[in-house]
Amino acid sequence: MRKKIVAGNWKMNTSLAEGFSLAKEVIAGSSRVDQGVELVVIPPFTHLSEIVKLARGSRVRVGAQNCAQWPKGAYTGEVSASMLQSAGVEYVILGHSERREYFNETNRSLFEKLQLALQENLTPIFCCGEKLGEREAGQHFAVVEKQVAESLFGLETRQVQQVVIAYEPVWAIGTGKTATADQAQEMHAFIRGLLAGKYGSTLADSISILYGGSCKPSNAAELFAKPDVDGGLIGGASLVAADFIAIAGSF
Ligand code: PGA
């Protein structure tokens, strides 16, 4: 059975002290969440090693929001996959739509990042999803297929097995406009079908596909009830521990 995962993407929010308290509250609240659900907090880079130490011995895992597309060297301001690994980080978000939009991430550079993250035994949370105009033009399946094929399909089977996918329609991120549970299910099943076509259905059935985009306590249960929705990548609502825990308790 594939893993159920609820991951909180804090984005560029919280001071170190605020982040530390938030992580503490999540750890405290984690006892209210079914043991079968993996809980991941994804703070800014500056907070990672402190929060890794705090979370040690708890069930909460820690992730980063990005990593560099090069292993090391003269890339001022970048953080490598091996640095994250050395800090005790276990997950890394790759290809979030904000990074694609503001930092020119491409399907090709994400393929490089995926390989480096996997080499370091990090679990990538690979994000894909269409913009509003693309959905309105009926191109959403083609856009997601291109993202998945160009970034993932160069990976070997043993590598893809380690990847978590997050479907995040860009029009639903931070807008309060959630995809309906049926829209999410339709795209998740499509993505699983792409994986099955390339790697076989056993592998496709083992990959967790998370939904992201204005997921909150009031809509999580309906989304998570869908057969191909294996959890959520939560932005805004992950900044309030009680909301994050309520979402994780919605399976
Ligand atoms: P949101 O963000 O929950 O605030 O819409 C989700 C995400 O960007 O991962």
Does ligand 1 lie within 6 Å of residue 170's CB atom?
A: no
CATH of the domain at 123: 3.20.20.70
The set of catalytic residues is 96, 168
Distance in Å from the first CA to the final CA of the chain: 15
Global pTM value: 0.97
Q: How many structural domains does the chain have?
A: 1
**CA distances, 99 to each of 11, 102, 181 (Å):** 11, 5, 25
Does ligand 1 lie within 6 Å of residue 219's CB atom?
A: no
For a mutational test of ligand 1's pocket, the pick from 12, 125, 126, 173, i.e. the residue with the most ligand atoms closer than 8 A to its C-beta, is 173
Does ligand 1 lie within 6 Å of residue 235's CB atom?
A: yes
Query: What residue numbers bound the domain in which 201 lies?
Result: 4-248
Number of helices followed by number of strands (H, E) in the chain: 12, 8
Q: What is the mean pLDDT of residues 232-240?
A: 98
Instruction: Please answer whether residues 51 and 41 qualify as being in contact, where contact means their C-beta atoms are separated by less than 8 angstroms.
Output: yes
131-156 pLDDT tens trace:
999 999 999 999 999 999 999 999 99
95-120 pLDDT tens trace:
999 999 999 999 999 999 999 999 99
Per this entry, what is the length of the chain?
251
